[in-house]
Amino acid sequence: MRKFLKNVITFAVVALCFFGSVACGGSLQDYTGDEHTHVYDRLIDTKEPTCTEYGEITFSCDCGENYSVRLAPIGHDYKSGVIAPDCIAQGYTVHTCTRCGDSYTDNYLPALGHDYQIEVAAPTCTEQGYTIYTCSRCEDSYVADYSDSLGHDYLSQITAPDCTEEGFTVFTCTRCGDGYTDNYLPALGHDYKDKTTAPTCTEQGYTIYTCSRCEDSYAADYINSLGHDYLSQITAPTCTEGGFTVFTCTRCGDSYTADYTDALGHDYSERISEPTCTENGFSTYTCVRCGDSYNEIIAALGHDYGEWTIDGAYAYAKEIGGTVYLYDQSVGRAGAVCSRCGEEIYTEEYNHDIISTELPTAYKDGEMVVYYYFDIYLVAKATIPIILIK
């Protein structure tokens, strides 16, 4: 506003300078003579214009005469603000002057009304039911649609009394779990049945009392153990096993062994089966107490052959054209007889040491040598006369 006023004053001063001075009486012309010419060069009062009111600037001359310039209203400078409608109030636009604060409203919009969301609280055994209505925009809420509480729906569970604990009934609501206990009954007490265990050789006897209802039990009426009643059974020693005595209790079967004796050892008698030339003999040793036996082998004796004898050996020769030739011959065989078993053995026929049928030298001596073998062994040697046939 001050900037605007400054601009107006500057314009007024320039205008005065341009148009010249104004003569007394309001004439804008120069006068001669004694007449005074006004010069308005002093600003003495300023009234600023408003949005709706005129302003005024007053200048003064040295003579005391004043001159005023009227300033037109500057008008409103409105800025708009929109107010949106809500659930209960209408919406509108507010226009407000930035200089003087003058305002007006327009562009009205109707209120939206509430948008209620429903939340139902079901009735319980002890509390009534209801519905909560809550606006989704402004959170305004109210409660309505009440319903009565349901009351409890009790289910009973009976606990029977036992020997040591009282009985009772528990009532529990099927909906909310509320419960209470009633209908108490006294404990029954124990109903004991007895079972007697007789004493044994090592354990004492006693009676167990057991309740027929709860199986509680206790033991009483103890009787001392009987001790063992041993009966002895003697096992005599044998050739290989020691002897001992087994003591066995006639009541419980418990046993132990004592009174050990050494084994007797074998008492062998000997029976000999003689060996032969080809079969082994053996000695049989038999225990006269237990019959245990074992054999010891006696090696076979083998044959005992006497002197070997030659049987059926001969040789004949002829002279032909001044040369002597072997004409006929047989070396026969050598034989021997076992002196123990009488078995006879004979050799196969073997060639003598004359290889050729020609007898250039041997005939001169009138004999030939023959060797006899049994298996691979030389068993006999014979000199056979060679008989010359005419």
Is the pLDDT reported for residue 9 higher than 70? Answer: no
Residue 211 host element (H or E): strand 205-211
What are the residue ranges spanned by the domains of the chain? 2-71, 78-109, 116-147, 154-185, 192-223, 230-261, 268-298, 309-389
Q: Which helix (H) or strand (E) holds 221?
A: strand 217-223
d(CA 276, CA 218): 89
Are 224 and 203 in contact, with CB atoms under 8 Å apart? no
Residues 6+ apart with CB under 8 A from 331: 313, 349, 350, 351, 352, 370, 372, 384
**Cα→Cα distances 192→160, 161, 272, 309, 364, Å:** 19, 17, 84, 117, 139
CA pair distance 205, 73, nearest whole angstrom: 133
26: tokens are 């309001």
CA distance linking residue 27 with residue 7, whole number of Å: 26
Average pLDDT over residues 27-54: 75
Half-sphere exposure (Cβ direction) of 175: Cα atoms closer than 13 Å: 12
| DSSP structure class, residue 315 | E
Tokens representing 293 are 């036996």
pTM (predicted TM-score): 0.34
The number of CA neighbours under 13 Å toward the Cβ of 1 is: 17
**pLDDT, tens digit, 9 for 90 and up, residues 48-69:** 999 999 999 999 998 989 999 9
Mind listing the pLDDT tens digit for each residue in 73-105? 999 999 999 999 999 999 999 999 999 999 999
Q: Is the pLDDT reported for residue 361 higher than 70?
A: no
CA 368 to CA 384: how far, in whole Å?
A: 5
Q: What is the pLDDT of residue 349?
A: 62
In Å, what is the CA distance from 351 to each residue of 281, 338, 381? 41, 26, 12
247-253 contacts: CB < 8 A, separation 24 or more?
A: 249/201, 251/200, 251/201, 251/226, 252/200, 252/201, 252/202, 252/228
What SS3 string covers 257-303? EEEEECCCCCCEEEEEECCCCCCCEEEEEEECCCCCEEEEEECCCCC
CA 98, chain centre distance (Å): 82
For the stretch 285-340, pLDDT in tens is 999 999 999 999 999 999 998 888 888 777 777 777 777 777 677 778 888 999 98
In single-letter form, the type of residue at position 5 comes to: L
The answer to whether 92 touches 111, Cβ cutoff 8 Å, is: no
Type and span of the H or E element at 56? strand 55-61
The residues with which 257 forms a beta bridge, in sequence order, are: 246
Flag whether pLDDT at 354 surpasses 80: no
184's tokens = 């108490």
Structure-token match 């007895």, residue found: 194
Give me the pLDDT at residue 345, please. 87
Which residue reads 């509320």 in tokens? 178
122-170 pLDDT tens trace:
999 999 999 999 999 998 999 999 999 999 999 999 999 999 999 999 9
Percent of the chain with pLDDT over 90: 65
* Dist CA 264 CA 330 (whole Å): 72
Maximal CA-CA distance, the chain: 238
